[in-house]
């Protein structure tokens, strides 16, 4: 029961911070217990990519990367267990979701004025989550 409450609360908190929605979800969202781990990976990748592209502050780029990492985690949680076991994580899906979340988070934070740089930061965060998440290793 505690695990289910934690999954519900964390996914609701991420959704509320990004889209200003209710903190009381109707059902458990797709995020799992590794959402903070993936958000931290995304924050690191976003900070590094932001320094390379010369876009905004380190903190703003870390926020964009963390949002992209959390979105990648949620998108992977929406797939069925058999699909995840059979195919693992798909890099194309993670990069696409990360880019979309990066554009959205960049529009909200307003740190970088160019949309494509926010997308690159998010895509790099999605790729980093795909590569560095230990659950993606094939057995």
Q: What is the mean pLDDT of the chain?
A: 77
pLDDT of residue 65: 92
- Global pTM value: 0.71
Q: How confident is the model at residue 130 (pLDDT cuts 50, 70, 90)?
A: confident
Per-residue pLDDT, 96: 93
8 A C-beta contact, residue 7 and residue 33: yes
| Sequence ranges of the domains in the chain | 35-136
Instruction: Please write the tens of the pLDDT for every residue from 48-106.
Output: 998 898 888 889 999 999 999 999 888 877 766 666 666 667 888 889 999 999 999 98
Q: 44: exposed, middle or buried (C-beta count within 10 Å: 0-12, 13-18, 19+)?
A: middle
């Amino acid at each position: 029961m505690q695990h289910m409450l934690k999954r519900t609360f964390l996914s609701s908190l991420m959704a509320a911070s990004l889209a200003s929605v209710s903190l009381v979800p109707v059902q458990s969202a797709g995020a799992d217990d590794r959402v903070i781990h993936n958000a931290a990976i995304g924050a690191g990748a976003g900070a590094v990519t932001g320094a390379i592209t010369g876009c905004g502050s380190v903190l703003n780029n870390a926020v964009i990367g963390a949002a992209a990492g959390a979105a990648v985690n949620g998108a992977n949680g929406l797939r069925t267990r058999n699909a995840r076991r059979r195919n693992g994580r798909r890099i194309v899906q993670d990069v696409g979701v990360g880019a979309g979340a990066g554009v959205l988070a960049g529009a909200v934070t307003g740190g970088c004025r160019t949309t494509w740089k926010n997308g690159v930061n998010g895509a790099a965060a999605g790729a980093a989550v795909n590569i560095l998440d230990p659950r993606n290793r094939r057995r």
